[in-house]
Amino acid sequence: MSQKGVTIWFTGLPSSGKSTIARVLERRFRQAGLKVELLDGDVVRTNLSKGLGFSKEDRDANIKRIGFVCHLLTRNDVIAIAAAISPYREVRDYNRRLIGNFVEVYVKCSIDECEKRDVKGLFKKARAGEITGFTGVDDPYEEPLHPEVVCDTEKESADQSAEKVIRKLEELGYLSEASSHSSF
């Protein structure tokens, strides 16, 4: 079984399902014996980007840091999975250029559904004015214009979404034909 280094970049509104799908993929890849690392936005913020706030400049710096780590992993034939809101197209495109082997996955979900799923209560706090600059409320989210994969988490399960991503990786040649599809 062989693999090529690639970054799978999950982007979408808060609570859209990015981390959930990313964890399903990570588990499947590990079970298949592939080299994989997951960089989850919340985990990165507490470790790699501690001290950064939520201004546009700080968000851009955070996403570029994740992109740089993904670049290092990808060039060493690791599957890097990034799950971060990454609300601005310009910085996602910057990372695409830096990394090269880059598959953008748009985790599509309505704002209403994201608010229903919000276990941390952040949307509620943002609507009450307790949090400012919250993506989808008073800060924009710029949807990808040409993502390689769209996962509509209101219509498909995390497993179905992960399956779509795996099929795209096979189609693009990042996962070899030798790796049997059933091993995922």
135, part of any domain: yes
> Each residue of 58-70: pLDDT tens digit?
889 999 999 999 9
Domain-embedded: residue 22:
yes
User: pLDDT per residue over 78-98, tens digit each?
Assistant: 999 999 999 999 999 999 999
Residue 180 is among the residues annotated as catalytic for this protein: no
Is the residue at 131 inside a domain? yes
pLDDT at res. 183? 59
SS (H, E, C) the chain: CCECCEEEEEECCCCCCHHHHHHHHHHHHHHCCCCEEEEEHHHHHHHCCCCCCCCHHHHHHHHHHHHHHHHHHHHCCCEEEEECCCCCHHHHHHHHHHHCCEEEEEEECCHHHHHHHCCCCHHHHHHCCCCCCCECCCECCCCCCCCCEEEECCCCCHHHHHHHHHHHHHHCCCECCCCCHHHC
Q: Structural domain tally of the chain?
A: 1
Question: Which one is catalytic: 86, 110, 176, 180?
Answer: 86
Give a yes or no: residue 184 inside a domain: no
The answer to the question of residue 66 being in a domain is: yes
Residue 1 located in a structural domain: no
CATH code at position 82: 3.40.50.300
Is-above-0.75 flag for pTM? yes
Domain membership of residue 45 (yes or no) is yes
Domain membership of residue 89 (yes or no) is: yes
pLDDT digits (tens, 9 = 90+) for 13-41: 999 999 999 999 999 999 999 999 999 98
Structural domain of 44: 6-179
Tens-digit pLDDT profile for residues 106-134: 999 999 999 999 988 889 998 998 988 88
